Amino acid sequence: MLFGVEKFICKACNKPALVKFISFGKMPIANAFLTKETLEKGEFYYNLDVGFCEECKMVQLIEMPPYSKYIVPDDAGKTHYAFFSSTSKFMEKHFAEMAKEAEEKFLDENSQVLDIGSNDGILLKAFKNNKTLGIEPSDNVADVARTQGVETISKFFTEELAGKILAEKGNFKVIFSTNVLLSIIEIGSCMKGIERLLANKGVFITEDPYIPEILEKVSYDQIYDAHVWYFSLTSLSNLFERYGLEVFDAEKQWVHGGSMRVYACRKGDYPKTDRLKKYLQEEKEKDIDTIQPYLELSKKVEQSRIELKALLRKLKDEGKKIVGYAAASKGTIVQNYCDIGRETLEYISDSTPFKQGRFSPGKHIPIVSPEHFHEDNADYALLSAWNHAEEIMQKESEFLKRGGRFIVHYPTPRILEPESTNKPSNNPNSEDFPGVEIKKLNVIANGQGYLFEVVRNDDNLFSGKFGQTLVSELYPGTIKGLHKHSKQTDYTTCIKGNIKYVLVDDSQEPAKIKVLTIGEKNSILVKTPPGYWHGYMPLANEKATVLHLMDRTYNPKKPDTERKDAFAFGDVWTVRPS
């Protein structure tokens, strides 16, 4: 059957406008890790097909497996979920910052906070001055939350449950849903419940994987049974509108391989930000509201499978020992779609005790403890939790020191080198500017001189798009900027001398300003995405040579450049005594 011909009923808007654009074939439940006993009983499989609704623009699974297949009760009737959020220290920091932002922007001491899908209480435990309530249907992780003092209801969130909570607890000023809204099958009932529980001027904050990021990274492993929806701001705006809510702000996040934090309210409660308008315009330019980019994704996914299998086959032919790292849902999808079994991966290392001693869904690869991995002499590890690559590579420094390397499949299959995992969120120079990334350039010097790599096609910060390269020499006292682009991404480094590089985000008041030094004293490459004002000047009364790489060619008839006076945001240029 040709994709794009047969139409299904969209489960978001109930219109016969859902068009299939990709099929991964029969797939097991991604987190249904098997014991020795259950290996013989057989597994549940479903058709992992994905569609795009031409009416409401929502991307979704065509077959949505019931919750009972992946939130499974034990003999005592208690349900279990295989992932504990607090196992990641980076995520703890992320949620603590999220809580702080909500406190500063939306809460007072009498406000209540609700978290839908609260897991082990990782977000709510960060609130010290407000009453909180978690909704978590999995008993095992909810029990952990309760031990930390987080009141938690072990039920699925529905309009009916919202009514009971309203009667007992009243309204909530902020309602969170982090990496959860995409998992709620009856999303209409959920939205009705949220609208009922929101207090006056209340805010619903949701943070989920962002479909344009999946398209760009070809991170198809984020598509699996527990993720039934894949949101753009366009599709979320359409969804919220049907339930009396509207999106008023949004902010890109690095978590889960690229997410969007979305702020919604009752219509008219808060003004829509320029940042939101910019994101919506970007989606329009990328044709996110059409099926075309999704059909293109289908082709890229198939090519990724071919290349990953070829890379692994080559390494095995060379006699290399390959294992898996992290028994994550993402890994289940890659292993089964790419037909990677025990003939390729001898085992999978995972730090979650619940998973150790079990077997991976579909391919039945044994899961072992990190101690086994540390004592072994594997040459390569196929990394499932690639969105935590930096944290993992810091933790597994000994593996890297002895020559071990991690393999990832996105955006194309490749071997990660230790220096190629920079993430903006963990860099103190860029964490306040989503999308801005910084790469430390390694300078190699000897008696003949020195060299340093600037950009590699396997750098995480490099999008893969090349427009042109320029070299400019600046005389002392020259200020270049301020300017910004609506479409173009800039990559900038200073190859001779030093420059002060200024970034400005004026999407909200007051404008945020970040100042960096780039050059011989601090060899870094800065990626500046569209939407940020930026400029630079030489330091120390010396000339500076600057290397620019852009992802678009310059068109003098349609210049993608907006300019401001260099002092539009005050004197950010004068070097002041410390």
268 shares a domain with 217: yes
SS3 271: coil
What's this model's pTM, rounded to 2 decimal places?
0.70
Identify the sign of the CA torsion 354, 30, 251, 165. Answer: negative
Whether 4 maps to a domain, the answer reads no
Q: What is the pLDDT of residue 426?
A: 34
451 shares a domain with 360: no
196 shares a domain with 221: yes
Per-residue model confidence as pLDDT tens digits over 107-151: 998 899 999 999 999 999 999 999 999 999 988 889 999 999 999
Length of the chain: 578
407 shares a domain with 530: no
Whether 194 maps to a domain, the answer reads yes
Residue 520: CATH number of its domain? 2.60.120.10
Whether 115 maps to a domain, the answer reads yes
CA distances from 546 to 429, 487, 537 (A): 20, 21, 10
In angstroms, rounded to a whole number, what is the distance separating the alpha carbons of residues 19 and 9? 9
316 shares a domain with 261: no
428 shares a domain with 413: no
In this prediction, residue 423 has a pLDDT band, given cuts at 50, 70 and 90, of very low
Whether 71 maps to a domain, the answer reads no
- The C-alpha R_g of the chain, in whole angstroms, comes to 25
CA distances from 227 to 81, 214, 232, 453, 454 (A): 14, 13, 14, 39, 37
Per-residue model confidence as pLDDT tens digits over 285-306: 999 999 999 999 999 999 999 9
Question: Alpha helices, DSSP H only, in 174-249?
Answer: 187-197, 211-217, 233-241
Arithmetic mean of pLDDT over the chain = 89
Per-residue model confidence as pLDDT tens digits over 39-78: 988 899 999 999 999 999 999 999 999 988 887 777 777 7
Residue 324: CATH number of its domain? 3.40.50.720
| Number of domains the chain contains | 3
501 shares a domain with 404: no
Q: What are phi and psi of 182, to 5 degrees?
A: -65, -10
Give 363 or 475, the one with higher predicted confidence: 363
List residues bridging with 249 in a β-sheet: 263
In angstroms, rounded to a whole number, what is the distance separating the alpha carbons of residues 286 and 280? 10
In this prediction, residue 431 has a pLDDT band, given cuts at 50, 70 and 90, of low
Whether 25 maps to a domain, the answer reads no
Per-residue model confidence as pLDDT tens digits over 173-201: 999 999 999 999 999 999 999 999 999 99
Whether 64 maps to a domain, the answer reads no
Whether 11 maps to a domain, the answer reads no
Per-residue model confidence as pLDDT tens digits over 442-452: 877 667 777 88
Whether 167 maps to a domain, the answer reads yes
372 shares a domain with 468: no
308 shares a domain with 260: no
Q: Within a 13 Å sphere around the CA of 413, how many CA atoms are in the beta-carbon half?
A: 20
Residue 209, domain extent: 85-275
Q: What is the pLDDT of residue 83?
A: 62
Instruction: Tell me: pLDDT of 429 over 80.
Output: no
217 shares a domain with 298: no
CB neighbours of 270 closer than 8 A, spacing ≥ 6?
A: 201, 203, 248, 249, 263
**Which tokens go with 395?**
């933790």
Using the 3D structure, point to which of 212, 242, 275 is the last residue of a domain: 275
